[in-house]
Chain A
Amino acid sequence: MKDKQSKGAANLQANYKINTGHTAIPKTYKLYIGGAFPRTESGRYLKMKNKKDNSILNISHGSKKDFKAAAAAARSALGGWAKRTPYNRAQITYRIAEMLEGRKMQFVAELEAAGVSKNEAQKDVEAAIDLLVYYTGWADKFQQIYSTVNPVSEPYFNFSTGVPVGVVSVIAPKESGLWGFLAAFIPAFVGGNTVIVLAEEKFSACAISFAEVLNSSDVPGGTINIITGKRKELLAPFTTHMEVNSVILYTEDKTEIIAVQESAAVNVKRTSIRHFADEKQSPYLIFETLETKTTWHPMGGSDGGGAKY
């Protein structure tokens, strides 16, 4: 074991071109809740093998109490985030892309450690940055596409706009390390929701490193929370907690879909079942986490004709 670790350290040194005789310090992958990096309250860790150099990573094995803490953080962050101007949400999303660009190498290395080829990893990270820029563009424009002016027969100006549905729990796809992870929750985030994301277990390290990017991108604490752990164990808290208003789930498993839909029914969470194979970038993914607010604004002619107050 010791040999494996020092070999890992040596590889890390090689990756980062450090030649100082320095011993690399392996990172503890903690959770990301409320803008901080707490350890899991359960004190459990998952050992994960770095497929590139066979060193061992310690990943937090999150519990339902961690989810509870994240739900509280997401709820308290919601008001402030939903009230930000769409333009400001765009700025922050773009800032995430800037920060990610500067740390591309690290994410490529972490995807490789999870068994992705170097070529694929590079493509994945670059696609993830592009995805952030894509949704930056939509952040202050989706409302114009979503909103409608509705014809009504009474003398009202009647219009509908999208408002964030609230706290959204997201179970990330198994298939993709970074692009798929971001594609799962960035649309909801851009729409003014706060999210709690369950990272795919084998890409846990990558997800928590991404939290560091978030943490240096002016993303308000609690708007994006990231939990790592066992999907089977965490599916129930992610879908039953009454603080959650909507669930996004990537799966092909029919029994999982039924179980999630049943749990989500306790407080009628809006549930989006998505398939990674069909995944694309689209403003319609933002719409999935919006509620429609319709306003009836009294309107009379200058002569009062037609008004029925």
Chain B
Amino acid sequence: MPFKTPKIDRVGIQERCAKFQSRSLKADTKKKLLRLALNMVDLTTLEGSDTPGKVKQLCNKAILPHGALPNLPQVAAVCVYPSQVKTAKKALNGAKINVASVATVFPSGQAKLSIKLDDTRFAVDEGADEIDMVISRGEFLRGNHNYVFDEIAAVKEACGKARLKVILETGELSTLDNVRKASEIAILAGADFIKTSTGKIQPAATMPVTLVMLETIRDYYYSTGIKIGMKPAGGISNAKLALHYLVMVSETLGDDWMNNNYFRFGASSLANDLLRQIVKQESGLYQSKDYFSIG
């Protein structure tokens, strides 16, 4: 087994997270990190009310985040429901932006395996490059860890070439020990990424939870040499917080993870705050969201 599954020291984790928030970043570094963070965003819309029109608008935002600054990096992916994958794929029109689709009866995951696999295959057939699955938290919490493992492995198989992100929904896992355990199960079952949350449950991504997951990734890398990606999602809505996360990634995993192959932000409003801060850095003037397109 590559893991020794340590007990998590909650107070220690919180202390460590507080440190990440006290680093001072020089202006040049800040500029670079803001652009990098934008490049790591999975621009997301996961609402019952999503229409093809809204998805197209989101894709346009992904391609051209801010017209006034044409040299900005693009976001990593757009993240939508399976039924909107085709629309997104078409709207992105060959741009180097992935389409990620949630699957396995997102967000609850309360359905039998065959339905979840159908859901996954449908998204992949529609053209999804990445699949964001949810684990069965109910089974995990009653101690049925094997079920969770087998389910992830089955979904991974259904993904084919699509990269698999496994959503632990840490807001429902109660303890950091559970987060560690679920992270290990997901990684061993074949996850390419582990992801904190659906965004539908509070609390969503927090720094302590993300740190526990990053440390799991680190331990796995030390024992196998395999790199697993990380995606905190939900609740990261401002640039300042995103920079704190990047400091945490850099200091926990190092430079190899400082790109969108291995680190993503799942967010809907973060992109615009990053844009505001980038324009603020360029112009010296504090910005208003009135002057940025929605999306």
Q: Does A267 contact B (CB under 8 A)?
A: yes
State the CA gap A243–B287 with chains docked (Å): 6
State the CA gap A240–B284 with chains docked (Å): 10
State the CA gap A266–B284 with chains docked (Å): 12
B286 close to A241 (CB less than 8 A): yes
Q: Does B71 contact A (CB under 8 A)?
A: no
State the CA gap A98–B290 with chains docked (Å): 37
By beta carbon, the residue of chain A nearest B276 is: A242
Q: Does A237 contact B (CB under 8 A)?
A: yes
B286 close to A243 (CB less than 8 A): yes
State the CA gap A266–B283 with chains docked (Å): 11
Q: Does B288 contact A (CB under 8 A)?
A: yes
Mostly, the B contact residues are: loop
- In order of increasing CB-CB distance, the 7 nearest A-B pairs are A243-B288, A242-B288, A241-B286, A242-B287, A240-B285, A68-B286, A242-B285
Show the binding face of B for A, using Cβ within 8 Å.
285-288, 290-291
Given contacts A240-B285, A242-B288, 7 further A-B contacts (CB under 8 A): A240-B286, A241-B286, A241-B288, A242-B285, A242-B291, A243-B288, A266-B285
State the CA gap A101–B288 with chains docked (Å): 38
Distance in angstroms from A268 CB to nearest chain B CB is 11
Which residues of chain A have C-beta atoms less than 8 A from B291's C-beta?
Answer: 242, 267
State the CA gap A242–B290 with chains docked (Å): 9
State the CA gap A75–B285 with chains docked (Å): 16
State the CA gap A241–B291 with chains docked (Å): 12
Q: Does A71 contact B (CB under 8 A)?
A: yes
Mostly, the A contact residues are: helix
- From 231 to 264 in chain A, residues with beta carbon under 8 angstroms from any chain B beta carbon are 237, 240-243
- From 207 to 251 in chain A, residues with beta carbon under 8 angstroms from any chain B beta carbon are 237, 240-243
| Interface size class of chain A, counting residues whose CB lies under 8 Å from the partner chain | 10 to 19
Show the binding face of A for B, using Cβ within 8 Å.
68, 71, 75, 237, 240-243, 266-267
Interface centre among B285, B287, B288 (most CB of A within 10 A): B288
State the CA gap A68–B287 with chains docked (Å): 10
Distance in angstroms from A71 CB to nearest chain B CB is 7
Which residues of chain A have C-beta atoms less than 8 A from B286's C-beta?
Answer: 68, 71, 237, 240-243
State the CA gap A267–B292 with chains docked (Å): 13
**Residue contacts A-B, CB under 8 angstroms, 22 given:** A68-B286, A71-B286, A75-B288, A237-B286, A240-B285, A240-B286, A241-B285, A241-B286, A241-B288, A242-B285, A242-B286, A242-B287, A242-B288, A242-B290, A242-B291, A243-B286, A243-B287, A243-B288, A243-B290, A266-B285, A267-B288, A267-B291
Distance in angstroms from A26 CB to nearest chain B CB is 33
Distance in angstroms from A99 CB to nearest chain B CB is 32
Which residues of chain A have C-beta atoms less than 8 A from B285's C-beta?
Answer: 240-242, 266
State the CA gap A211–B8 with chains docked (Å): 47
Distance in angstroms from A242 CB to nearest chain B CB is 4
Interface centre among B285, B286, B287, B291 (most CB of A within 10 A): B286
State the CA gap A242–B291 with chains docked (Å): 8
Which residues of chain B have C-beta atoms less than 8 A from A266's C-beta?
Answer: 285
State the CA gap A267–B285 with chains docked (Å): 11
State the CA gap A75–B288 with chains docked (Å): 9
Which residues of chain B have C-beta atoms less than 8 A from A237's C-beta?
Answer: 286
By beta carbon, the residue of chain A nearest B280 is: A242
Distance in angstroms from A193 CB to nearest chain B CB is 15
By beta carbon, the residue of chain B nearest A242 is: B288
By beta carbon, the residue of chain B nearest A263 is: B285
Which residues of chain A have C-beta atoms less than 8 A from B287's C-beta?
Answer: 242-243
State the CA gap A68–B291 with chains docked (Å): 17
Which residues of chain B have C-beta atoms less than 8 A from A75's C-beta?
Answer: 288
